[in-house]
Amino acid sequence: MTTIPLTGGRSIPRKYVPVLVTGALFVAMFVAGGIRYEGFATGQIVLNVFIDNAFLLVVAVGMTFVILTGGIDLSVGSVVALSTMISASLVTDGGWPPLPVIALVLAVGAALGCAMGAIIHYFEIQPFIVTLAGMFLARGLCYTIGTDSIPITDGTFTAFAQTRIDLAGDMWISPSVVIAAVVVLVAAYALHYTRLGRNVYAIGGSEQSALLMGLPVARTKIAVYTISGLCSALGGVLLSFYMLSGYGLHAVGMELDAIAAVVIGGTLLTGGSGYLLGTVLGVLVLGLIQTIISFEGTLSSWWTKIFIGLLLFAFIVLQRLSAARRT
């Protein structure tokens, strides 16, 4: 195992370095914000980042599975928007109970992901093309439901949106954060302690070698895109709770935010290397950038995209340099 030497004869395995760099970046940003802005360096600021980005974290978890196999899923933002539209239309206009609506939304997302995964594998089409088609399909379906925003006034949705879970020290989180945390824990267990996870990493390392070893490549790739579709649909449900509305323009560009979070978290775009902890840290970094810009008050929200772009460039270069050193 390649390591990086430290003082005292200790060393860090190189595969952990990207996650540690992302963690150090988050700590540095938090400390810098605490020095510059009054009231910034509090635990509630970090929790607010989770509260405001719980739906993105869930979507990024699904994207992590896909990228670990060396694939990409450009449909996630559109599936999120479609999920909000289905939820809002059925609950508000159709009078459906919330639980059957949520179950239907999750089934639609999983089915769309499963279909894309099957097309990618059996027709040997690049994931970029297939998921781009899925993006246009899901976004188009949003507008067949309605072109205007649909408010959600259902009591269950509003109660969920307004619920606060109190913690120590006057801090609090929303139920969406708990759901996102459960998703992260389940996904981490699946990636690191199950056969599915081992197959995901093997396919990302070399799909041809995985085939020669007799691993179920087809089943694993379809499962990965199904998981991504399911996570996108669940992210859409959480966004419905957060926004209390369904709209065809919700989550525009969220697929890029999810990819950015995964890459900044240290997962290689070529697949085979990365950790869900890094994805969590990547989402925290993106959310903290937004928080710092809001505290600054004089910067446009577009600076968020500029800083994210710069970070992506930096981490992609780091990935390239790390890969070059291994060879």
Residue 126 domain flag:
yes
The pLDDT confidence band at residue 308, using thresholds 50, 70 and 90, is confident
SS3 content of the chain, % helix, strand, coil (to 5): 75, 5, 20
pLDDT of residue 7 exceeding 70, the answer is no
| The dihedral formed by the CA atoms of 151, 58, 22 and 254, expressed in degrees to the nearest 10 | -50
71 or 2: whose pLDDT is higher?
71
Amino acid 5: pLDDT: 58
303-327 average pLDDT score: 77
pLDDT of residue 319 exceeding 90, the answer is no
pLDDT of residue 77 exceeding 60, the answer is yes
Amino acid 320: pLDDT: 74
> How far, in Å, are 33, 90, 135, 248, 252 from residue 147 at the CA level?
40, 15, 17, 7, 15
Amino acid 324: pLDDT: 63
Give the length of the chain. 327
247-259 average pLDDT score: 95
23-28 average pLDDT score: 93
Amino acid 281: pLDDT: 96
41-50 pLDDT per residue, tens = 899 999 999 9
| The dihedral formed by the CA atoms of 219, 254, 310 and 289, expressed in degrees to the nearest 10 | -120
Residue 286 domain flag:
yes
pLDDT of residue 278 exceeding 80, the answer is yes
Amino acid 59: pLDDT: 98
Amino acid 223: pLDDT: 97
Separation CA 205–CA 263 (nearest Å): 16
Separation CA 177–CA 55 (nearest Å): 9
Task: Please give the model's pTM, rounded to 2 decimal places.
Answer: 0.93
E strand or H helix at 173: strand 172-173
The pLDDT confidence band at residue 168, using thresholds 50, 70 and 90, is confident
237-254 average pLDDT score: 95
Enter the tokens of residue 303.
Answer: 């600076």
Residue 93 domain flag:
yes
Domain count of the fold of the chain: 1
Percent of the chain topping pLDDT 90: 77
Residue 138 belongs to a domain with what CATH number? Answer: 1.10.3470
268-296 average pLDDT score: 92
Residue 11 domain flag:
no
123-148 pLDDT per residue, tens = 999 999 999 999 999 999 999 999 99
199-219 pLDDT per residue, tens = 999 999 999 999 999 999 999
pLDDT of residue 3 exceeding 70, the answer is no
pLDDT of residue 230 exceeding 80, the answer is yes
Mean pLDDT across the chain: 91
Domain housing 147:
17-26+37-322
Residue 313 domain flag:
yes
CA 31 to chain centroid: 25
Instruction: Report the b/e string of 180-197 with b at 16+ CB within 10 A.
Output: bbebbeebbebbeeeebb
Residue 259 domain flag:
yes
pLDDT of residue 6 exceeding 70, the answer is no
Residue 113 domain flag:
yes
Residue 204 domain flag:
yes
pLDDT of residue 250 exceeding 90, the answer is yes
